[in-house]
Homo-oligomer: A and B are copies of this chain.
């Protein structure tokens, strides 16, 4: 094979995107990265793990937010400090994603990896979604929550993901134009969707089909 191929997965919360990414990585026998990536980034950069956790998929403070925030009178230095910190964390994560993608064919879930690797030719960018009822049922079951709380958690998480993605990429989270391919995971289920993405990757990257 000539070069590495990368599958980047964006996903609505509760759509099973993470599990699909894991199954896909197993099917293709390549590494999978999502939250684990934060820990790798943490270790490689020497920065504290909880600092990364805090910055993980949260949009940086905006000028508007900083000025009208609880303190009301942040100095320019303090503002710049906060702002650059989050930008810097994104940059560190980006360097690590690029370095991992150079080493091995991989599956990345979240973290704007599609954007970070946009200059790498061998990328397949996928978005996974599902009807809200299916997502509420999934999250309620997995996290043992009443449906109202599951719905609130979904709304909050997806809002945060969209803000993070839109801020750093200049693209629109969950909009088809930002991806090669979007699929409702309730169409074929977790295994069926993973298998479909595998077959698309085989077509796109000319991989030998697995039995």
User: Interface residues, chain A, CB within 8 Å of chain B?
Assistant: 124, 127, 129, 131, 174-177, 179-184, 187-188, 192, 196, 199-200, 203-204
**Contact between chains at A176 and B180 (CB < 8 Å):** no
Q: Which secondary structure dominates where chain A touches chain B?
A: mixed
* Complex Cα gap A199–B202 (Å): 14
A196 and B187 contact, CB distance less than 8 A = no
Q: Which of B176, B200, B203 contacts A182 (CB 8 A)?
A: B176
Copies in the complex: 2
Would A204 and B188 count as touching, CB distance under 8 A? yes
Q: Which residue of B lies closest to A196 (CB)?
A: B200
A75 to B137, CA, bound (A): 51
A184-B187 in contact (CB<8A): no
Given contacts A196-B203, A199-B199, A200-B196, contact A184 B188 (CB under 8 A): no
State whether A187 touches B174 (Cβ < 8 A): no
Question: Could you pull out 23 A-B pairs where Cβ atoms are within 8 angstroms?
Answer: A124-B187, A129-B176, A131-B177, A174-B176, A175-B175, A176-B176, A176-B182, A176-B184, A180-B183, A180-B184, A181-B182, A181-B183, A182-B182, A182-B183, A187-B200, A188-B200, A188-B203, A188-B204, A192-B203, A196-B199, A196-B200, A196-B203, A199-B199
- For A177, the chain B residues whose CB sits under 8 A away are 129, 131
Q: Using Cβ atoms and an 8 Å threshold, which residues of chain B touch A176?
A: 127, 129, 174-176, 182, 184
| B-side contacts of A184, CB under 8 Å | 176, 179-181
Could you say which residues of chain B place their CB within 8 Å of the CB of A196? 199-200, 203
